Structure 1
Amino acid sequence: MKILLSPGQHENVWMWRHEKNGAFNVRSGYRFFKNLTNGDTADSSNAYEEQKMWKAIWKMRVPNKVRVFAWRACKESLPSKYNLFKRKIIDSPACDFCNNSIEDVSHAVLQCHIVKVAWRQLVPALTFFPELCTVTEAIVSLLHKGDQGLLSRFFLIAWSFWYRRNKWTIEHSLLDPLQAANYAISLQKLVIPAPATKPFNAETGLLASSSYWVLQAKC
């Protein structure tokens, strides 16, 4: 963190270091995290900020399987129909529920019309997300809000929708999305908060204290 001191009595403001004007916007945040998930961590500040993202995921008060899901969703490494289609394992990447969209991870847990209805009921604060919001874009917006509890709730619900998807794909057992989500949310009460210092990083498992923001004196 860099602190620029002002000689006068002025209020300090947070500045987003990845925009010249210091103002955060979802497009800038998404571009930054997209570079991270593509492995672009050569710059030291990017490495610190990537660690900040994984630290936020590790600190979530959720079962470990949900943290692993969150990591894999960010890396787009879950066995979605799109990923299986790219590897020539299946013949079609179409979503089993709506049949007219490609099922990547973001579609399965955010964009499919069935789960979108559930999202609106379960987390009204997420209704500002754009129509084709990805998991990474969602994380950018949630981190900007600074609400760790909302981040945990988001991934619990997203995990429940992925679990529901798998039950249908593997067992042809259809679960109600609201029931699945409410069950996942109830698991949060049984979880002991994870220690903030426990290592968890996308590539190495390491954490480091960092900030996405620069504290600048308002002149």
Structure 2
Amino acid sequence: MFYKFFKARFFPTSSVLESGVKSNGSYAWQSILKAREVVKQGAYWRIGDGASVQIRGDKCLPDMSTKHVISPQKNLPMNAKVCALIDEDGPRWITERVTQEFFPHEAQQILGIPLSSNQVLNLLIWVGTKSGKYTTKSAYKMLMSKPDLSTPSPSDTSAQTSCWKRIWYLNVSNKIKHFLWRACRESLPTKKNLLARNVTRNALCKWCNEEVEDSVHALWGCQVLKEVWWEEEILRNHLSMHFVDCRDLWIGITNLEEPNLAERFAFVAWSIWNKRNASGMHGTSLPFHLLY
């Protein structure tokens, strides 16, 4: 009864896990939305016909730590479904299409997913239990086992001071330090900031045209940047992580305590921003695969 009530009021035409769900409501509904984020972290799709699962955005890789596809978009559109990779004449993957579209390790993962000839539906399963069913105990274990890449509390002034000191003590040029400081303070002229100042009418990222372009999206979160950051091996398991803002991302990078990683990150982020600006002015810039 509760499910029918909530569905009719808050998500009548979609699933509770989709982004179109209404965010305003009672305390009970707000609690469900917070729990939904936990479910999203630990659930992934078992592929049936692939018609309702997005290649990019939905979790569908069974043996990867993030389960998200991180290969940059090439031939297929960003909103393509998994069924676009499956042969219509039989339950088999279109090998050539898969190998052309994805990084080799991801192509191998996809081609290894078994397909059924019985036209079974896609099934969302929970990774924390053998049965694939959600339990509170398994969710708690999952959350406790996650690496500490989160930002400190805003009230922790010593942590914030350390964040800024790590920028100014970087062994890079002053212009890169200043750029990173602006990014962490969300003061770069991103499309989100330009929209707030009535400079543009559209805040969507011009590269992916899927999400609002703030600093963390422009430098890290955009799908087209995955092949750039993939070159840094220590970051590969973190490419699908969501960071609140660029300061959150910067603290996560420095918490990894990898020698010279902070300097490499700062320089590559600066190069990405330069490419973004050059493309907006129709200037020349390096292709993504040469930025790192």
Shorter-chain TM band: 0.5 to 0.7
Offset at 1:172?
A: 4.9
Q: What is residue 232 of structure 2 aligned with on the other side? A: 123
Matched, 1:83 2:181: no
Is the Cα contact below 8 Å between 2:227 and 2:289 reproduced in 1? no
1:146 is displaced (CA, Å) by 2.4
Paired residue secondary structure (2:212) = coil
Q: Which has the higher contact order (CA 8 A, sep 6+)?
A: 1
Q: Shift in Å at residue 106 of structure 1?
A: 1.0
DSSP 3-state at the match of 2:213: coil
CA distance in 1, matches of 2:171, 2:253: 15
How many angstroms apart in 2 are the aligned matches of 1:94 and 1:174? Answer: 21
* Counterpart contact for 1:119–1:126, Cα < 8 Å: yes
Partner in structure 1 of residue 282 of structure 2: 171
TM-score by length of 1: 0.60
The C-alpha deviation readout for 1:98-130, integer Å capped at 9, x for no partner, is 11221111111111111112111x212112324
Map 1:62-141 → 2, pairs under 5 A: 62-120=172-230, 122-129=231-238, 130-133=240-243, 134-141=245-252
Secondary structure of the corresponding residue to residue 128 of structure 1 = helix
What is the CA RMSD across the aligned residues, in angstroms?
2.4
Unmatched runs of 5 consecutive residues or more in structure 1: 1-23, 41-45, 183-219
Other-structure match for 1:25:
148
Q: Which residue of 2 aligns with 1:149?
A: 260
What fraction of aligned residue pairs are identical, expressed as a percent? 28
- Name the amino acid aligned to 1:162: W
Deviating 4+ runs (over 4 angstroms): none
Task: Name the SS of the counterpart of 1:178 in structure 2.
Answer: helix
Deviation per residue, 1:72-110 (Å, 9 max, x gap) = 011010000011011111010111111122111111111
C-alpha deviations, 1:36-72, integer Å up to 9, x for none?
A: xxxx6xxxxx333322222211121111111001100
State how far apart, in whole Å, the 1-side matches of 2:160 and 2:270 are: 22
Quote the offset at 1:132 in angstroms.
2.7
Report the Cα distance in structure 1 between the residues aligned to 2:241 and 2:227, rounded to whole angstroms. Answer: 12
Q: For the Cα contact (< 8 Å) 2:171–2:263, is it kept in 1?
A: yes
Q: CA deviation at 1:31?
A: 4.4
**Alpha-carbon displacement from aligned partner over 1:128-175 (angstroms, at most 9, x marks no partner):** 324433422322222222235101111111111011000011235453
Gaps of 5+ in 2: 1-146
* SS of residue in 2 equivalent to 1:118: helix
1:87, 1:102 → 2: CA distance? 15
**Separation of aligned partners in 1, 2:237 and 2:161:** 26
Q: In the aligned structure 2, how far is the partner of 1:51 from the partner of 1:175?
A: 35
The TM-score with structure 2 as length reference comes to 0.46
Report the CA distance shift for 1:98/1:174 in structure 2 as closer, same or farther (over 3 A): farther
State the distance in 2 between where 1:171 and 1:63 align. 26
What SS does the aligned partner of 2:219 have?
helix
Query: How far apart in 2 are the matches of 1:26 and 1:75?
Result: 19
Q: Which protein is richer in helix relative to its size?
A: 1
Distance 2:169 2:157 in 1: 18
Letter in 1 for 2:265: F
What is residue 273 of structure 2 aligned with on the other side?
162
Which of 1 and 2 has greater Rg?
A: 2
Q: Distance in 2 between matches of 1:95 and 1:106?
A: 11
